[in-house]
Structures are given as C-alpha cells and as structure tokens.
A and B are shown apart, each in its own frame.
Chain A
Amino acid sequence: MPPASFSFDAARPHPDQFRNPSIPHGGTQINVLQSNRAESPHPARLARGRLLCRHTARSAYNPLAMPDATRPTIDDLQRLRLGAPLELDCGTALDDVDIAYETWGKLNADRSNAVMICHALTGDQFPASTNPVTGRPAWWPRLVGPGLAIDTNRFFVIATNVLGGCMGSTGPASLAPDGKPWGVRFPVITIADMVRAQRALVEALGIDSLFAVIGGSMGGMQALEWATQVPEKVFAAVPIAVPARHSAQNIAFYEVGRQAIMADPDWQGGAYLEKGTRPGRGLAIARMAAHITYLSEVGLKRKFDRGLQDREAASFSFDADFQVESYLRHQGQSFVDRFDANSYLYVTRATDYFDLATAHGGRLADAFSGAGSRFCLFSFSSDWHYPPEETREITRALIAAGAEVSHIEIETDKGHDAFFLEEPGFEAALKGFLDASAGRRGLNGGPGGGQGEGLAE
C-alpha cells in the first residue's frame, strides 16, 4: 500500500466557493419503474446461502428514498451479510458487512461456470437487468444475457455493489454501530478491500473459483486485483479500460470532485443524512467534472460542437447557452438522484489509492508472477481518462511475467465510456475470448475455440 493517510485530509475550501445557483437543489422524479427482478434466485443456491450466512433485511438509512411507495427501496435488494469481520487495508476491521448482489443464469454442478462482473465507479449490481430502485436500465445489455458475450445460458453471472457503494452494500450511508449513518467516519476502503468483500460473498455462495472476472474502469481494477490476490481462483480475467495505477491527473480530477462536494454547505461535514440535507450542488459539479474525462474531444465535437441549446443566438448571460453545458448539467443533476455524496468520496478515494506495482514491491510484472489466469485486456484509442498506453503497460508486464495475455486497442472516438456503448469489434472479441476460455475450462456447450466466425462480420 502507498503510505496513505486513509482520510480525506486536505485544506477544505470555503463552503461558498463552489455555490452554483444554476443547479437547483433536490432531486427530480425518475420515470416509471419496472420492478421485475429478472430471475428469481436459484433455489439450491439460496438454501446453501442460508446455511453459510444470514441473508439480512436490516433496515439501513436509505439516502435515496423516493416518495414513490410502489418502488422497492434499497433495503429490498438482495444482499448477504458476511460471516466474519472484513479486514481492511487501512488497518481496521469492519463488522457486519452487507454485500448487495444480483445473479443471472445457473451455477453448474461443478460450480465452475461463475463469472463475476465488477462495476465501474458509480455503477451498480445491475449490468443485465433494470435497477428496481432507480429504474435505470441494465448498464451492459449488449454484453450480458442469453447468447451474448457473457452468455447467461452458459455462465452463472454474479454482480455485486462494491463495498463503500450506495446500492445496498455497506458504505458510508449505512448505519454505524451507534445507530447513526457512518458518514465520513466510515473507514477509507481500497480496491483490494472491495475484492476481499466479493471473495467472501463468492465463498458464501459455495463457489471455490471463478471462471472469469470482468470489469471496466474501476471494475477493471477489481478484475486485476482478483487476478493478483487469488490468481489460482481466477481462470480468466478481463480488465477493460484500466491503468495499473491512478495517475496524478486522475487523482487531480477526482480531488476537484471531492472538494466540490465538501464545499457544499449541505454536506454538513459529512453528516448530511442525520441533518436531513443533501449536498446535491457539490455532487452534481463533481459528476460534471468527472464526466468530461469520460468523453473525448472528438466525441464532444461530433455530438455538440458549439451548438446552441434551444436558442438562435447567445443570450449574453450564464444560462446554459451551449448544448454541451445543458448536457453536462443534466448529467450532474441525474447523478444526484441516484448516488450518495459520501459514497462518491469513498469510491474515488479507493481508485486514487490503486497502484498495483507499489503494492507488489514496485515492479508491475511481479504483481503477476505465478499468474495462472488467462488475460484479455481492452483499451480504447480516444480514452484520456485511462489512456490506452496505461492499459498497455499492464499487458507488457503480463508478457514479461509469461502470462497468457491478449490485448486489443479498439479504435473509437467515444472516449473512456466506449466500453458501455456499441462497439461491435469489442463485443465480438470478448465473445471469442470467453468462448475459447470456456472450451479450455471444459464448460458444457463450450465450443473449444474456433467458434466466433461470422460474429465480427
């Protein structure tokens, strides 16, 4: 670990510094909910789960509670209480950790077909079905599902909400032992901690090793962490659009976001849940700043250029004259409706602390020594959040470590977010890799490689 303080220590700016009257406080109502859970949990798995652990329905403070009574709350989501305290990198242990998760497909008799999908910074455990709480549609509908690259007819797919998140897993919005929300008293967590929590969940589900771990961005960090923490338990790893460590530029952008949140008077020193306020302005600005880094200059130009928003000429005011302003304000505002501000502090901090080489003695290739997993990495040419050269550095380390590694840099102008969007070359290549890996793993229906012709045509 880096010699970090595991805190948000920094000179905090004056609270009024980031006031932005143009962004209204408070949330807007999200559209009608589709609250159908895609599939009911596999009965055998549930029975096993009851033996190994307690499925909890503990009432936690719900920061995103919506007035709509027909909508499930975060408390209604499927979750599992870990059986033992979770040891954290910061030196403390966390008791009574809940991990919210969703699954698709069926675990096979050998329990060898489990795929863990790790979400990005502000994602959730719903890559393949609508989030019943927020109503947001599945975030990887092109990749996860029957017959798709991550084939739910063939694989047992698990997705969790990360430790420190705000979609049902224990995080700063959960209740501390004193009955009040943790707030910034919650211990600062790392990517390694998130993966330890996922490992405990996977074990509790009776799964000894994963067929694959797949994730983009912060999810890619988790995939790398899995493959280095327990290489013997990961058959195939797919880290996407991810660096081996957060760069100074990455830390800088996220620090801007954190400072915007902390500068919002409604943040209340992190205790806004108790005080009944929400630092919506700060959180929206944080999202706006970060969102720019997920796009590309070429993409922005293609989408908006200098186009004006619903007007013929500039207004000579600070209204959102330009389409790009309006778009960013919308991104910021809709984010406030679904994400907890303190959780944002914690997940961004976890990515800042991510540095795979330093955690393994300073040489990246050493992180992968003895790596038994097959790797397939993807990067995107116009990604300047986590530039392709940084992902390539991981590939180079894997080559040097003698690991079996594939890497494709996809040509695109969609920036970092490309891995969420339509990229047929990426989808076909991922399918080819997973099909071939399934064949190697001896999974039923596995084509053993050589399939996939026609997919990319």
Chain B
Amino acid sequence: MTEAQAPRVRADYLAIADRIADGARVLDVGCGSGELLSLLRDLKRVDARGLELASELAGLALAKGLSVIQGDASEDLELFPNDSFDVAILSKTVQQMRQPAQILSELSRIAPEIIVSFQNQGRWTRRLSLIRTGRMSGAKAWHTDDMLHPCTAIDMVDLAGGLGLAVEAMAPVQGGEVGAFRQGGLARLNWYADEVILHLKRA
C-alpha cells in the first residue's frame, strides 16, 4: 500500500490515542468496526477490547483481530469486574445511549479514566440557528437522528462531576481538526466547539 492510498486516520482518533499510555487495557464502548481500537493496538500496543451493538460491525472488528463482544452495553457493563481496564472510551456514542448516566457510572467503576467524545449543542451556530429558524439543527431530521440525548459541553461536565469524575483535560474538535487539550476554559469551549473530547478521571 503506497502512502497516497493509505486511509487517512481521523484526527480525533489520533488525539484520543495521544491520551492513552502504552500497553494500557482499553475498553471501547460502541467500538463499531474497530477503527479506533485497531489504531490504539498498532500505535500504543494496548490490550484492546470492544463492545458493539451491531452484529455486522462487531464481526468486522473481530475480523481485524480485535476482542469484541456484540451486545448491549447497558446490560453487559455491570458484569465487568472493578478496575478491569485502565481506560474506557465512549467515542461519539454516549448521546446515543438510552441511559448515559448509568453507562458513565458503570465505566467509572470499571476504569479509573474515561475518554468521552460527543457533539456539543452549545456551539454558537447551533444556538443561533435555533433562535433564527425555530427548528432543530443537524444533518438528520430530529425524528430520524439516533442521537437520543443531545447536550452541551457544560451539561456533560456537570453530569460527570455528579458521578465523581473530574475533567483531566478537554479539547475542541472543529472541521476534522483537534485543538489543544486544556484543563479549563469550559465556557469558551462550550461556545465554539463543534465536538468535544473530554478526558475524565475518577476524582
């Protein structure tokens, strides 16, 4: 495979990989076809495990040599022993879960660190769009979007705090580019970030 043909690795995946220690035990909840996990395995030699609801996607991840359990995270997470992982990842899945608080709470029991990425409804363009048009923004119609729980960056940090999770660092994702990770500046992030990556640690 030549350089030109190599698939472009998503910047948010590289940014997440950057936050993870070499050889860590990683659980990716909603791992899809295992794109992020195989990147972590190749770059960081992590012990990679995934959970994925869709059978076909889970099969693709398994075909990549990853350990994947196809099933419903809201039922399976409670089975994992305490601290069985170093890091848990929720890459653009938390807003699609039926019970985001329950998932975050279970993950904080299973792993001392959680990396969450999600869409930020607090972004000024979305606020403005709602005021101007009186309609929900988004690529999909509100009734077909699989995002069950839209929220802002402040909302998410608030929920995490209530579950005993502190923000270690956070970064904005904007047009495929990831900004710098910072510990503060939540209000500013909430105003302009399209997506947010939160690195949470058990307080």
Contact of B62 among A376, A439, A450 (CB under 8 A): A376
Instruction: Give the nearest-CB partner of A404 in chain B.
Output: B67
CB distance A404 to B65 under 8 Å? no
Of the listed stretches A164-172, A258-266, A407-415, name the one at the interface; the rest are far from the partner chain: A407-415
A425 to B59, CA, bound (A): 6
Q: Is A221 engaged at the interface, CB distance under 8 Å to the other chain?
A: no
User: What residues of chain B lie closer than 8 Å to A436, measured between beta carbons?
Assistant: 65-66
A407 to B63, CA, bound (A): 12
CB distance B64 to A432 under 8 Å? yes
| Chain B positions 54 through 89: 1 when the CB is less than 8 Å from some CB of chain A, otherwise 0 | 011011101111111111000010011100100000
Q: Is A29 engaged at the interface, CB distance under 8 Å to the other chain?
A: no
A439 to B41, CA, bound (A): 13
Contact of A456 among B60, B71, B79 (CB under 8 A): B60
Q: Is A449 engaged at the interface, CB distance under 8 Å to the other chain?
A: yes
User: What residues of chain B lie closer than 8 Å to A395, measured between beta carbons?
Assistant: 69, 71
CB distance from A309 to the nearest CB of B (A): 36
**Chain B residue total in the interface (Cβ 8 A):** 24
User: What residues of chain A lie closer than 8 Å to B199, measured between beta carbons?
Assistant: none
User: What residues of chain B lie closer than 8 Å to A409, measured between beta carbons?
Assistant: 55, 70-71
Instruction: Give the nearest-CB partner of A379 in chain B.
Output: B70
CB distance A402 to B69 under 8 Å? no
Most buried by A among B42, B55, B65: B65
Q: Decide yes or no: A406 and B69 within 8 Å by CB, A400-B79, A425-B59 being known contacts.
A: yes
User: What residues of chain A lie closer than 8 Å to B70, measured between beta carbons?
Assistant: 407-409
| Chain A positions 359 through 388: 1 when the CB is less than 8 Å from some CB of chain B, otherwise 0 | 000000000000000101000010000000
User: What residues of chain B lie closer than 8 Å to A431, measured between beta carbons?
Assistant: 63
CB distance B68 to A406 under 8 Å? yes
User: What residues of chain A lie closer than 8 Å to B58, measured between beta carbons?
Assistant: 408
Q: Decide yes or no: A435 and B81 within 8 Å by CB, A411-B55, A428-B59, A456-B59 being known contacts.
A: no
User: What residues of chain A lie closer than 8 Å to B68, measured between beta carbons?
Assistant: 406-408
CB distance B79 to A410 under 8 Å? no
Give B18-56 interface residues, CB cut-off 8 Å to A: 38, 41-42, 49, 55-56
Give A10-37 interface residues, CB cut-off 8 Å to B: none
Contact of B69 among A399, A411, A428, A439 (CB under 8 A): A399
| Chain A positions 416 through 457: 1 when the CB is less than 8 Å from some CB of chain B, otherwise 0 | 000000000110110111011001000000010111110110
CB distance from A373 to the nearest CB of B (A): 12
CB distance A455 to B63 under 8 Å? yes
CB distance from A296 to the nearest CB of B (A): 16
Instruction: Give the nearest-CB partner of B84 in chain A.
Output: A402
A374 to B55, CA, bound (A): 20
CB distance B63 to A428 under 8 Å? yes
Instruction: Give the nearest-CB partner of B47 in chain A.
Output: A404
Q: Is A207 engaged at the interface, CB distance under 8 Å to the other chain?
A: no
A sample of 7 more A-B contacts (CB under 8 A), given A376-B62, A428-B63, A450-B64, is A399-B80, A407-B70, A432-B63, A435-B65, A449-B41, A455-B63, A456-B60
